[in-house]
Amino acid sequence: MKKLITAMWLIWLCVPAWARPEEIFRLEIPAAAGGMARAVRPNGQTKDLGKVLRVPTATRYPGYTASAWAEPGTVAATAVNAIHLTVSVENEKGRIVSLVPAETIAPAAGASAAFVIDCPAGAGLFGGWAPVVGDRARVRRADGTLRELTAAQLPEPGETLVVSVTEDLDGPYMFDFENRAGGEVRAYWRGGGKAIASVERPFRGVGRFGGSKFQRRSALRANHCGVICVSTSDVGDIGGFQIIPYEHSFSPEMKSAWEKTQWMIVRSLDGEKMTARAPLFKGVFTPGAQALEKLWDFWSTYGRRSLVMCRVDGGEWRRFNAAAGKDDHAFDHITHLRIYAPFTREPGRKTHLGDFR
């Protein structure tokens, strides 16, 4: 019996825990110009994120390809320059409404199909307070009751868009990619690691992915149901690469990923589709807080800062050297890639901290 109990304990430690997403805050976006977009913590603490300058009067259809893979009424993409919500899927195409910062309009967002927020790109709502793919979006009526977000009924004056931002406290904390054909993609949980995918095609180059202008290097620029985009350029410059699931590589706009060097293509081990599938393309990543952003405490402030590292010719882990523009061979010597998952609580919760300013 003692051996059986020991074996069960080891199994519990070494296998991934079932996902248990927990709301860590909610976003409230009033459907009225001049209203204040806010983040609200479960304890009632609030954070102003910027005034609403414009509200959507329409939806965008068809949306970008991967918007059709998100569940209606959820976050389909989170990025430094836009947040997209899928409101419906019609004829295998997504219909979206977006949130965008005033200083830039993301190409995927329609001009009349977005909340425009007076918030800088890459920070606040589009940084440390951004949601993850799959988070649920609903509409709160003036009387406080909630309804679904639908294409037929967008938020109206007196109503508020509410996004429940979650974190899987038992989720993986780190991902390693071997940057070679046939390389392993491994996720790490509290009790050990597990291979979750393989590399079908490695990346070698840097490309001009527009939103990277608003993100520091070695950090996540965007995540949606079919992309992880990493910035390799300093703020103000444009440069990065992307990781996409095998299935997305056959989308009309992505077929060149098999010829160009700016994309890593990954494939599942079980034969199931990876699009809109946790943990790589749903439920984990955000653009993350900037260096001077402060969230509600020590661990949230530092844990929600995005970090991507690499190894050159199998050497030690390091941040990416700054690389911008288009260079097909900028990363020829990158042999390994590591992406850290955001978190807001200390693992083990053993340290008692006071004010850390």
User: What DSSP line would sit under 122-136, residue for residue?
Assistant: TSGGGTTT---TT-B
Does residue 187 belong to any structural domain of this protein? yes
Does residue 264 belong to any structural domain of this protein? yes
Take residue 100 and report the two structure tokens written for it: 């965008």
Instruction: Report CA-CA distances (Å) from 252 to 57, 62, 174, 211, 328.
Output: 29, 14, 31, 22, 21
Read off the pLDDT of each residue in 183-187 and give the average, rounded to a whole number.
98
As a whole-number percent, the residues of the chain with pLDDT over 70 amount to 91
Does residue 211 belong to any structural domain of this protein? yes
Regarding whether 190 and 102 lie in a shared domain, the answer is no
pLDDT at residue 260 is higher than 50 = yes
Regarding whether 270 and 230 lie in a shared domain, the answer is yes
Regarding whether 312 and 330 lie in a shared domain, the answer is yes
Q: What is the pLDDT of residue 271?
A: 93
| Dihedral pair phi/psi, residue 153, rounded to 5° | -145, 90
| Structure confidence at residue 135 as a pLDDT band (50, 70, 90) | very high
Q: Express each pLDDT in 293-350 by its tens digit.
A: 999 999 999 999 999 999 999 999 999 999 999 999 999 999 999 999 999 988 766 5
Regarding whether 225 and 124 lie in a shared domain, the answer is no
pLDDT at residue 23 is higher than 90 = yes
Does residue 322 belong to any structural domain of this protein? yes
Does residue 234 belong to any structural domain of this protein? yes
Regarding whether 298 and 198 lie in a shared domain, the answer is yes
What is the average pLDDT score of the chain?
92
Regarding whether 284 and 311 lie in a shared domain, the answer is yes
Contact between 204 and 193 (Cβ < 8 Å): no
Residue closest to 186 by CA, chosen among 16, 334, 31: 16
Bigger pLDDT: 12 vs 165:
165
As a whole-number percent, the residues of the chain with pLDDT over 90 amount to 86
Regarding whether 312 and 239 lie in a shared domain, the answer is yes
Regarding whether 256 and 109 lie in a shared domain, the answer is no
Does residue 354 belong to any structural domain of this protein? no
Regarding whether 237 and 143 lie in a shared domain, the answer is no
Q: What is the DSSP letter of 230?
A: E
Q: What is the DSSP letter of 247?
A: G
Regarding whether 157 and 187 lie in a shared domain, the answer is no
Which of 168, 189, 221 is the last residue before a domain boundary? 168
Q: Express each pLDDT in 190-214 by its tens digit.
A: 889 999 999 999 999 999 999 999 9
Structural domain that includes position 190:
174-340
Residue closest to 257 by CA, chosen among 191, 199, 177: 199
| Structure confidence at residue 108 as a pLDDT band (50, 70, 90) | confident
Tally of structural domains, the chain: 2
pLDDT at residue 4 is higher than 60 = no
Regarding whether 28 and 107 lie in a shared domain, the answer is yes
pLDDT at residue 176 is higher than 70 = yes
Q: What is the DSSP letter of 171?
A: S
pLDDT at residue 35 is higher than 60 = yes
Read off the pLDDT of each residue in 266-279 and give the average, rounded to a whole number.
97
| Structure confidence at residue 8 as a pLDDT band (50, 70, 90) | very low
Q: What is the pLDDT of residue 351?
A: 59
Take residue 274 and report the two structure tokens written for it: 């990876």
Contact between 163 and 139 (Cβ < 8 Å): no
Regarding whether 202 and 82 lie in a shared domain, the answer is no
